[in-house]
Amino acid sequence: MKKEITTPPELMSIVQGFRNSRIILTAFELGVFTVTSDGSITSDEIAQQIQTNPRATNRLLNALVAIGLLQKSGDKFHNTSFSSKFLIKGRPDYMTSLAHSVSLWKTWSTLTDCIRSGNSVTQGVQIEERSSEWLEGFIAAMHNRAPQQAIEIAPLLDLSKTKRLLDVGGGSGAFAFEFIRRNPSMQVVVFDLPSVVTITQRYINREGFSNSVTTLPGDYLKDPFGDSYDLILLSAVVHINSFVENENLVRKCGDALNSGGQLVILDHIMSPDRTEPEAGAVFALNMLVGTKQGDTYTEAEISKWMKDAGLTSIERKDTVQGTSILTGIRK
């Protein structure tokens, strides 16, 4: 039985959830937690450093105390242990990914206009044209979830005979790193936009995989992948594209595989009526507000792309995180 909201308080709890989210994102944008990293400080002193209105800043800080991200002693504020670890810019565990949440806030605010028009009303700037700060935040957000996903996905795949793997739109390279841990003889090519692969290389160097992972810059809808791959991964890629773009992309991947090679698509794979999984139904709207023609797709649609590309033995496996993988084998 599908989930059903049954009471007004239940609905209002969901509706009003945006308020705490906005408080946290505003504090992140203003660098509040970084300013309070050196110890207790008054709201007037914080306002002076971040160049904001003193009274308004005081009220923001009080709300952060109420939420549990700051502490207050007298008229001075200081970070919690959590804020000190994750919200101070420059620290190893700094949640750079929140910058992407700030961007999502802005695009989701256009949802009503998008429903009226049928298209994104903000999609004028392509990823490769975005600011370095936006791009760093986006890749960091993807990297936050990817390592755990990779740990879960790897055992579902036969990596034992994979000598050469292509990760299309591979971002930080997190999947490549985990796959190589399970098959150290594997060589991986991470294909992504030129502006992204410079970031990818930093992750490769940091993780110590420079001997096993290389990057290939390009646009996956236009530029060649090369060939002779034993496995090609499309993780969180097909939802960015239109039906026809994916049809062409999957065919392109099939052509780049060795005989017996695998194409693996990891994404939200929707039920025939497109209402399940819930995360996928919501994510379809995320694609509406943020991309030109992105969407989430059903198993039948993705299987058709694979069959039309000459792939066989198509198999689905679901993950505990609510996503699914479809694999197809080149004849």
Min mean pLDDT across 37-51, 93-107, 267-281 is at 93-107
Is pLDDT at 16 greater than 90 in this prediction?
yes
Neighbours of 296 (CB within 10 A): 22
Q: Name the β-bridge partners of 62.
A: none
Closest Cα partner for 86 from 151, 27, 152?
A: 27
Pull the structure tokens for residue 244: 């026809």
252 pLDDT band, cuts 50/70/90, is very high
Min mean pLDDT across 83-87, 158-162, 298-302 is at 158-162
Fold equal for 8-93 and 147-330: no
Measured between alpha carbons, how far is 279 from 329 in angstroms, rounded to an integer?
28
pLDDT at 259: 96
Q: What is the pLDDT of residues 34-74, one digit of tens each?
A: 999 988 999 999 999 999 999 999 999 999 999 999 999 99
Q: What is the pLDDT of residues 110-157, one digit of tens each?
A: 999 999 999 898 865 566 666 777 788 778 877 877 888 899 999 999
Domain parsing of the chain, residue ranges: 8-93, 147-330
Fold classified for 147-330: Rossmann fold (3.40.50)
pLDDT at 97: 84
Q: Average per-residue pLDDT in the chain?
A: 93
Min mean pLDDT across 172-176, 186-190, 230-234 is at 172-176
Q: Cis omega before residue 224 (within 30°)? A: no
Pick the CATH number of 8-93 from 1.20.120.140, 1.10.10.10, 3.40.920.10, 3.40.50.2000: 1.10.10.10
Whether pTM > 0.85 for this model: the answer is yes
Closest Cα partner for 17 from 55, 67, 60?
A: 67
